[in-house]
Structure 1
């Protein structure tokens, strides 16, 4: 027993010292021109990456890449619709464990800039708002409306319980916390911003708070007394001038979003910008002592149904693709790009004396997987769930369904040809007559009607509607209901008496498959299995397919669509195994019996 005590005592002392070391608090303050970390000048060289867009198993690896490029800080949003998917039901498990993401960053020697406001934009579904806020009567987002503030307060307090203790003044690594997000591009109510500040403080965020806005909107979006960070410009003189103008003639100076490239949406060219166009600008910003956050350092993937969409007056609806590669320094799989090495060379020039960067981790292995057989299927018009019935079509929100698909069914007396018009289609529809596809309608193309010929007798009319992503930016945030949101007319007459079948595809394990051959042209779910000699990142090649969603080993990897520019779906190595991998494909238009994976992405191919 004495020997055991002598052995355990030093171990206990070491453990206590380790805990105390982790609880060491720091100070982070504003000086007239610089940030002060423990009263010493500190320049943030930060890069944005989002815990939700990276497999949890890869968080640490991505952070090591950040350190290797020379970053000392990472920025992340917190996504309300991930943390509270249904009202009052919070989730901080798995990939939603944002506190663990922050803690891993601390273990890897990285500071964090936290952006937990309910609105994030971020090319994310509904700008981060949960779908259910649209069901709250009278609720107006980004306003002083009481119902909104009540839900906002409940959310931010829940976030505060987990993340406020991780601020630098409490022994953590969160340097600053952002209230709201580019509010000046939406409104100009300083009272509303002050309410934000008050709620954040009451939630425990008692360190440095700041706002960020594009330069043109900063006057409307900053709150006097808080640091006004600027987005989208990198001329050092202009950055300093605009921040001084709105901060009592002082700094410090922070570019909260510096864009090394841009995101993509379906049907448009893949965005890329050569590193050479940015290296000189990055060098001048760092030389001027300005802190910076690259948006994005690593984009990753917007998996599941979490992509957002843009929509403005006199412009088309623009749903974003699943790949969030962003032409960033780290590609979608987390590998260093030419931009990574170019930026690393710039950052090296500005390191404190005696400091060196760690070696860049080796490029990850990528594999090919030929000829995966899809051996069973589930045509979606079979084995449907129980319907909800209504005189008029119900929206996704009416059905309390956040994402995915809804099948709308009614009976029509046939024997005639006419125009079928879907008023307020949100967003993509497949029209079927007696189980056979009659056509598709696409909100992106302002399509809401097609000519349909009905056979004689009573006809079953099915309309499968896909939510392609709620608007994430601009004045239409509260015009985001999905499904059939208006009247459905055929030959000028309104169709009524609808049955609605919810198909959220949030649990594919409940689907009932058959090995029978599927020869219909209706949407179908296909399933197969495959083994691997070795695991590695891979990219499912969807160039010959039509439109749909893919799962591998239960993980929803996102959408594909032949229109492009994205033609592959990224499969992370972390979610593969050597034996017994399962693949599930929901194909809406053009199913095949086999599928293959290649060792590189195709993100730049458009089709008519």
Structure 2
């Protein structure tokens, strides 16, 4: 059957199976040419554009993780609104004539906050994550009860695009609990998943052995030396199609480092070597997108490294959806092995360049005293609580206590950044990535500490750790036990009302944080923008109430991506929550993104 007459993924009654040597679509050999595209990192009004461009590069499949913590920030809930509408995303894939691979975890890594595991899981000390432990499995059952019907009814045998579902994620790098993997298989099958189930591991003997299970099709993750890696995979799986289910064609960035890139020609040569073997592939990433809001993860292998807002990943399709050098290089490679459409995407015009005065501002302390403030309320404790203990799982919080004298203030650990003030005056910063845990307080007074959770670790043994100030809290060796804590409601941060509620908010000149600053601008038609953060300190920026993500003067990135659908014709609002300082309170929109210096 020719490609032009082959039934599309929306045709009911189709089949997808694991053959002796190939994937079998309706009984015929089928090579998966897939690209990773995370719906939760892309504005939903841009999903169709990104999916269409995947087809234009020659891909026939879209792969996505599912972030449990984003869908279920509170236990017993499962949010599928707006950018979490997985059903709509899968339907758009089908409408484009493509197939889908779904990776529901429950652990996903993905440089995503906590590796996708809800922070509330860890508030019960009896929970044993990523193993066959009753409390954990009960929570997963609730998650799958909400998720799997969405996936099951969109499987290929029911007229949908889904051809594969993955069990866990690189489990061999973590453990070898076969009972846990078997329990996940049972939950998927009892939840209506009938398509083949897969695992993914780095192609080492131990990881492939530990992360697999009979009946699950093994795939590998790597970015080079395809023949060698696939040979290792074949030793562990004598029959069935070979697949690199994460072909690493780029990498992510963390604050204070360079922007990671690889040459397009080099990456294309590695892809060519892989496809020449006859194997299937999933590009990680085809289109990375953005860690909007407070969703970024972090790594900690001795040094804490939070991931930046941009998840451009040096992927074929850039963060803003532009075809980059790898798009064209990969398209040429794919064309050697499969049909590629004649249509090609066109590059967008440079984004509008203009400036917006941040002519309204109010300090955080004044905003908290505003009658209309919805930022949060203080609560007292007879000990130093973590943020997890009080149910505040992301963002910022204020800690407050009174000290009768100066001295050395110390904590067991700071997770992840603490700005210390005495009677409103800055004292210093304790930063986890510098292993700071102590500083000198100059005298008596009210001690206030603004704590920022900079992103939960998404890989390794520190997943699930509490955030905030970790005790003991000592002043010259003596315990500080009387504390008040105010968790800041991030959703309320950009409210324009907070800037207008008090005439003390009107100011001019530089902005001393922590403070809010805002301004207004007009556009004729919504279009993508790039907000420069050069000269700003550290904080989050919001457009029309949407959190674009974190910025930080240490880089590498110097812009935040503003998706066009966030804008509206006419008046638009920008609000900045600045924790350090802005000398020149102007928001500058620039023509193109600047993701920072590279190591080339």
User: Normalising by the residue count of structure 1, what TM-score does the alignment of the two structures yield?
Assistant: 0.92
Q: Is the 8 A contact 1:25 1:172 kept in 2?
A: no
Correspondence for 1:3 = none
1:224 alignment partner, one of 206, 214, 219: 214
1:538 alignment partner, one of 514, 517, 529: 529
Deviation at 1:159, TM superposition (A): 0.7
Aligned: 1:517 with 2:507: yes
1:91 alignment partner, one of 59, 62, 79: 79
CA distance in 1, matches of 2:210, 2:296: 28
2:277 alignment partner, one of 288, 297, 314: 288
CA distance in 1, matches of 2:113, 2:340: 40
Q: Is the 8 A contact 1:429 1:442 kept in 2?
A: yes
Deviation at 1:502, TM superposition (A): 1.0
CA distance in 2, matches of 1:578, 1:419: 54
CA distance in 2, matches of 1:201, 1:97: 23
SS at match of 1:297: strand
CA distance in 2, matches of 1:383, 1:179: 47
Correspondence for 1:202 = 190
Correspondence for 1:329 = 316
Correspondence for 1:77 = 65
Deviation at 1:562, TM superposition (A): 0.5
Correspondence for 2:366 = 382
Q: Is the 8 A contact 2:23 2:29 kept in 1?
A: yes
CA distance in 1, matches of 2:47, 2:408: 51
- 1:66-145 aligned at under 5 Å gives the runs 66-145=54-133
In structure 2, runs of 5+ residues without a counterpart are 1-7, 369-375
Q: How many residues align?
A: 575
The 1:553/1:510 distance shift into structure 2, 3 A limit, reads closer
- Which is further off, 484-493 or 46-55? 484-493
- 1:354-365 aligned at under 5 Å gives the runs 355-365=339-349
- 1:386-465 aligned at under 5 Å gives the runs 386-414=377-405, 416=406, 418-454=407-443, 459-465=445-451
Correspondence for 2:477 = 492
- Which is further off, 104-113 or 498-507? 498-507
Aligned Cα root-mean-square deviation (Å): 1.8
Aligned: 1:471 with 2:457: yes
SS at match of 2:315: coil
SS at match of 2:218: strand
Aligned: 1:593 with 2:579: no
Deviation at 1:24, TM superposition (A): 1.4
Deviation at 1:603, TM superposition (A): 1.2
CA distance in 2, matches of 1:240, 1:323: 31
- Which is further off, 250-259 or 363-372? 363-372
Deviation at 1:164, TM superposition (A): 0.9
Deviation at 1:542, TM superposition (A): 0.8
1:502 alignment partner, one of 464, 487, 498: 487
SS at match of 1:109: coil
Correspondence for 1:192 = 180
Q: Is the 8 A contact 1:364 1:536 kept in 2?
A: no
CA distance in 2, matches of 1:230, 1:144: 24
CA distance in 2, matches of 1:131, 1:428: 19
Deviation at 1:548, TM superposition (A): 0.3
CA deviations on 1:300-323 (whole Å, 9 max, x unpaired) are 1011111001112xx201100010
CA distance in 1, matches of 2:366, 2:126: 39
Q: Is the 8 A contact 1:428 1:467 kept in 2?
A: yes
Correspondence for 1:307 = 296
Correspondence for 1:366 = 350
- Which is further off, 574-583 or 183-192? 574-583
Correspondence for 1:12 = none
The 1:345/1:520 distance shift into structure 2, 3 A limit, reads closer
SS at match of 1:527: strand
SS at match of 2:427: strand
1:42 alignment partner, one of 15, 23, 30: 30
Correspondence for 2:373 = none
Q: Is the 8 A contact 2:528 2:562 kept in 1?
A: yes
Correspondence for 1:8 = none
Q: Is the 8 A contact 2:154 2:161 kept in 1?
A: yes
Correspondence for 2:571 = 580
Q: Is the 8 A contact 2:227 2:274 kept in 1?
A: no
Q: Is the 8 A contact 1:64 1:108 kept in 2?
A: yes
Correspondence for 1:65 = 53
- Which is further off, 467-476 or 384-393? 384-393
Correspondence for 2:155 = 167
CA distance in 1, matches of 2:498, 2:223: 53
Correspondence for 2:248 = 259
CA distance in 2, matches of 1:137, 1:260: 38
The 1:47/1:246 distance shift into structure 2, 3 A limit, reads same
SS at match of 1:100: helix
Q: Is the 8 A contact 1:548 1:588 kept in 2?
A: yes
Deviation at 1:491, TM superposition (A): 2.3
CA distance in 2, matches of 1:537, 1:151: 39
SS at match of 1:429: strand
Deviation at 1:234, TM superposition (A): 4.8
In structure 1, runs of 5+ residues without a counterpart are 1-19
- Which is further off, 65-74 or 392-401? 392-401
User: Normalising by the residue count of structure 2, what TM-score does the alignment of the two structures yield?
Assistant: 0.93
CA deviations on 1:220-267 (whole Å, 9 max, x unpaired) are 1011121100111554543443333223x2121110100111100011
Correspondence for 1:212 = 200
Deviation at 1:436, TM superposition (A): 1.6
CA deviations on 1:356-414 (whole Å, 9 max, x unpaired) are 41422222233234221112223112343321100112111111112110100011124
CA distance in 1, matches of 2:351, 2:334: 33
